[in-house]
Structure 1
Amino acid sequence: MHHFIDRRANPKGKSLGNRQRFLRRARENIKERVDRSVREKSIGKGESVPENGEKITIPAKGLKEPRLYHGPGGNRRHVLPGNKEFVVGDTIDRPQGGTGQGGRKASEDGEGDDEFSFTLTRDEYLEILFDGLELPDLVEKATVETETIGTRRAGLTTAGTPNNLNLVRTMRNSLGRRIALQRPSTKSQRELEAQVAELEELDARSPSQEDLLAELKLKLDGIRRKRRVVGYIDPLDLRYDTFVPEKIRNSRAVVFCLMDVSGSMQEREKDLAKRFFLLLHLFLTRGYEHTEIVFVRHTHYAQEVDEETFFYARETGGTIVSTALEKMKEIIDERYPPDEWNIYGAQASDGENFGNDSVRCRKILTEQLLPVCQFYAYVEIVEEAAQMLLDNNEAGEDLWQNYRQVKGEVAHFEMQRVSEPGHIYPIFREFFLPKVKG
């Protein structure tokens, strides 16, 4: 949920209640503008929700806080600094021209306010867009998660493999041990060696120099012996990073997009279907770490295709809807085990189907697909002039009637009709608003 926090001090002349009403009004305006932008353009990544954010404009009236003003009438005294025109008792004419708040017409007098524009980030935009919606898990089944074995660091140990050697801790232990045992430094050894070499180079040494040379050699032997005993790095100094196995849960979801591409599905119908599919994909990617999307198009036969072919291929044919449902079940059996994947289905069609195939579609849904799906949505795209179908859910073709029976039997199956882009987002919110669980 998006929150707006007002950190201003309570200004004079404005009550706290008025300020709170202003904040609620601003939040509603932002939500209204986001919803409107969804209805007006596509939801595809990089189109309506660019990576660098979305510009939102709030009307000026939505930014005004209620204030108390002196009404007209009554006797009032004003102090007008710098007045050179009026004296006590003069009356002041009412100003001519507009004193309204903005507008498109020019005004010689008065002042107005521009609309307030700002940019929402992509995450903020999607957060407001999906505010109040929840992932459909209406079959009371916990979100499916796969468990993989990973590793995590678990401190240090005195034994391990060379590639896990912690050099920093090893050298720190070595330094502490050498200081504690007073291991002679390399510098002190070299200084003694230089003094011994200097005395040995003398051709004639005095007795005192001979005694000094013997003393230095004895001291040098002691340093060398102690350096050999107290090594630079001892096995006791070694420290290794240790790792322990850990179960990592990864939630995964797959979205099946099924679309009728027969001759009756024109560009308008395909565009409406694309808007719904992309909105569904954006919503699910916010709820799952890993989301895949599978495109299945069908005429009198079904095939899995890529996104470009799904939306723009010109191949047409007859209409047998059950082929798409059978293809979806085939792909699930091959690649997406229900115990490892959250499976969602979205189907778009104009409602036409061949012969008695609609009965077969109902059986495939109720017996094979819906038991393994978290949610399944059917969107029927009708003509723009078909207001009767939009107002009456009981009227419709054979496919719609069979799907109505499925909706009455299964809680996580939803169906709606659309006829224009402005219908897509409202029905999407209706699909995913929290349901009361009895």
Structure 2
Amino acid sequence: MTYFIDRRPNAKHKSAVNRQRFLERYRKHIKRSVEEAVNRRSITDMERGEKISIPTKDISEPVFQHGPGGARNIVSPGNKEFLEGDKIRRPSGQGGGGGAGEGGASNQGEGNDEFAFTLSREEFLEFVFDGLELPHLQRKPLKSLEEIKMVRAGLARDGVPSRISITRSMREAYARRIAMRAPIKRALKEAQEALAAEERKDPVLRNPARVGELKAEIERLEKRIDAIPFIDTYDLRYHQLAAQPQPSSQAVMFCVMDVSGSMTQNHKDIAKRFFLLLYLFLEKHYEKVELVFVRHHTAAREVNEEEFFYSRETGGTIVSSALNLVNKIIEKRYPSGQWNLYVAQASDGDNWDDDSNICRDLLVKQLMPQLQYYAYVEITPHDHQSLWHEYEAVAAQFPERFAMRQIVDAGDIYPVFRELFKRRMSQER
């Protein structure tokens, strides 16, 4: 008979298969909890998972138990009510201890009304993007802006003391001392051997003048060896710096949104999902991503995320105020030579009629020459207005860096996002 013995050590996450089965089985409940968590979270708060709770009654499963089997005779002491063959009435289920999963009230112990567990960051994002055909993102910048960085470029004999290479300088000094001492040491060794041979001769045959010359030569050679400097200016080596272009690894994302009376909270929730996707998209490409929130009605202001999404104001809409503010922020804090600039704008399409032309001129003449990408989403089921038509002229002039789409409901967010960036990524490949 052949025996198979599995001697592999138990690795981490050995229950991963069972966990995936559990997540798949209760996907509906988990997805509902994840959607609620997304609405509570900040856009940048994606470095952790989420604690999810599921009602216990929704995960209850039948349990099979083995009975004792066979015929048994049991004597219950103190039994005054029942005889053999009597049927015991089933408990009504109210009161008494309340086990796990029971919904009845109890004055003993603790109830277990829900089952809680934690999703990892990857699992959390999987449920955020569930049912959405998010394209495969290339792990490289959409556009590498070159900035100059001083890097080491070998060694040189001249330089400033702050850039001296001690290790290389000592190595050069050691090599120089070896090279300069070698012939002197050979001559010293020969003189010492000749002196020893002369002193071994018979005193009658020994030449005192020769002995004196050899001793003088030995003393001169030893002084020459001692005179060799430990380190010389010839030995010094300095690190050499050269200007090398480096791809910029930092990006800033401007979130621009209309907060006038026509933008409902549902519109803002849809915009938040779109901004979240764009932030995650940029986070895959850049080491550092900063967010700037600009809200506008008739006037534009830079605000924090809480005020950006959950504050509502009344009044008209002037989009050019937001574009002007974005341009001023770029000039003041984010020079295009050092930052990769992205703008995402969400609106319901309303704008002052005379302002749409101004928006087009601002984009064409000032913003688009500096930006890597501009994405405009119009959240409305109605026909397009003047702002959309003016933006179409901008898209025709900058087809590679300006994109615009319409979103009717939340189900359109991910397909629209895919369309906005599909052409860009296909060209990079």
User: What is the TM-score of this pair, normalised by structure 2?
Assistant: 0.53
SS of equivalent residue, structure 2 residue 145:
strand
What is residue 197 of structure 1 aligned with on the other side? none
For structure 1, list consecutive stretches of 5 or more residues without a partner in the other structure: 11-15, 183-214, 381-388
- What pairs with 1:349-388 in structure 2 (closer than 5 Å)? 349=348, 351-354=349-352, 356-357=353-354, 360=357, 374-380=373-379
Q: Give the equivalent residue in structure 2 for 1:56.
A: 51
Is the 1:259–1:296 contact (alpha carbons within 8 Å) kept by the matching residues of 2? yes
Task: Identify the residue that residue 143 of structure 1 maps to in structure 2.
Answer: 142
1:239-289 Cα offsets, whole Å, 9 max, x none, are: 433444322011554544444455x36895897588468636743651434
Q: Classify 1:104/1:224 alpha carbon distance in 2 versus 1 (closer, same or farther; 3 Å).
A: farther
Aligned to 1:165: 164
Q: Distance in 2 between matches of 1:374 and 1:333?
A: 17
CA distance in 1, matches of 2:218, 2:75: 106
Q: Which amino acid aligns with 2:170?
A: M
Pick closer, same or farther for the CA change 1:179–1:17 going to 2, 3 Å.
same
Counterpart secondary structure, 2:231: coil
How far residue 352 of structure 1 moved from its aligned partner, in angstroms, is: 4.3
Residue of structure 2 in register with 1:307 after alignment: 303
Whether the 8 Å contact between 1:130 and 1:283 is mirrored in structure 2 is no
- 1:413 positional shift: 0.8
Verify: 1:279 aligned to 2:276, yes or no: yes
Query: Shift of residue 54 of structure 1?
Result: 5.3
- 1:338-417 to 2 correspondences below 5 Å: 341-349=340-348, 351-354=349-352, 356-357=353-354, 360=357, 374-380=373-379, 393=381, 395=382, 398=385, 412-417=403-408
- Greater Cα offset, 96-105 or 159-168: 96-105
2:17 is equivalent to residue 21 of structure 1? no
Give the Å deviation of 1:232.
1.2
DSSP-derived class of the 1:144 partner: coil
| CA distance in structure 1 between the aligned counterparts of 2:144 and 2:172, rounded to whole angstroms | 44
- 1:432 and 2:379 are equivalent in the alignment: no
* Superposition deviation, residue 37 in structure 1: 0.2
For 1:157 and 1:78, the matched residues in 2 are separated by 95
Q: Residue 236 of structure 2 corresponds to which residue in structure 1?
A: 238
Q: Alignment partner of 1:37: what SS? A: helix
Shift of 1:143: 2.0
How far apart in 2 are the matches of 1:33 and 1:407? 40
CA distance in 1, matches of 2:404, 2:343: 10
Separation (CA, whole Å) in 1 of partners of 2:65 and 2:152: 72
The residue type equivalent to 2:417 in the other structure is: F
Aligned runs of 1:101-180 on 2, under 5 Å?
Answer: 102=101, 104-105=103-104, 115-118=115-118, 133=134, 143-156=142-155, 160-172=159-171, 174=173
Provide the secondary structure at the position in 1 that maps to 2:230: coil
CA contact (8 A) 2:343 2:373 kept: yes
Letter in 2 for 1:241: H
Q: Contact 1:296/1:328 (CA < 8 Å) preserved in 2? A: no
In the alignment, is residue 247 of structure 1 matched against residue 245 of structure 2?
Answer: yes
* SS of aligned partner of 2:248: strand
Question: 1:315 & 1:237 partners in 2: Cα distance?
Answer: 73
Matching of residues 222-237 of structure 1 within 5 Å: 223-229=222-228, 231-235=229-233, 237=235
RMSD: 6.4
**For each residue in 1:93-137, what CA deviation from the matched residue of structure 2 results, as whole angstroms up to 9, or x when unmatched?**
99966998635546899x97963434857x996787579746999
Sort the Cα spacing of 1:127 and 1:325 in 2 relative to 1 into closer, same or farther, 3 A: same
Cα pair 1:358 1:399 within 8 Å, conserved: no
SS of residue matched to 1:56? strand
Give, in whole Å, the separation in 2 of the partners of 1:9 and 1:292: 39
8 A contact 1:257–1:294 mirrored in 2: yes
Deviations 1:320-376, CA, capped at 9 Å, x for gaps: 446656776898899876998544231334x5444x558758966997788977342
2:35 alignment partner AA: D
Separation in 1 of the partners of 2:11 and 2:150? Answer: 44
Kept in 2, the 8 Å contact 1:136–1:412? The answer is no
TM-score, length-scaled by structure 1 = 0.52
Which residue in 2 is equivalent to 1:293? 292
Partner of 2:6: none
Q: CA deviation at 1:227?
A: 1.6
Which digits, 9 at most, give the CA deviation of each residue in 1:135-179, with x for residues without a partner? 999xxxx82221122233345555544332211333355457657
CA separation of 1:338/1:396 partners in 2, compared to 1, >3 Å: closer, same or farther? farther
What is the alpha-carbon distance in structure 2 between the residues aligned to residue 92 and residue 224 of structure 1?
120
Structure 1 residues 92 and 164: CA distance shift in structure 2, 3 A: farther
The structure with higher relative contact order (CA 8 Å, sep 6+) is: 1
How far apart, CA to CA, are the structure 1 residues paired with 2:127 and 2:118?
15
1:417 Cα deviation after fit = 4.7
Distance 1:54 1:21 in 2: 19
- CA, structure 1 residues 106+167, in 2 after alignment: closer, same or farther (shift >3 Å)? farther
- The Cα of 1:295 is off from its aligned counterpart by 2.5
The unaligned stretches of length 5 or more in structure 2 are 1-9, 77-84, 183-213
Identity %: 25
Shift of 1:18: 6.3
Total equivalences in the alignment: 357
1:166-205 matches, cutoff 5 A:
166-172=165-171, 174=173, 181=181
- Structure 2 matches for 1:70-81, cutoff 5 A? 77=69
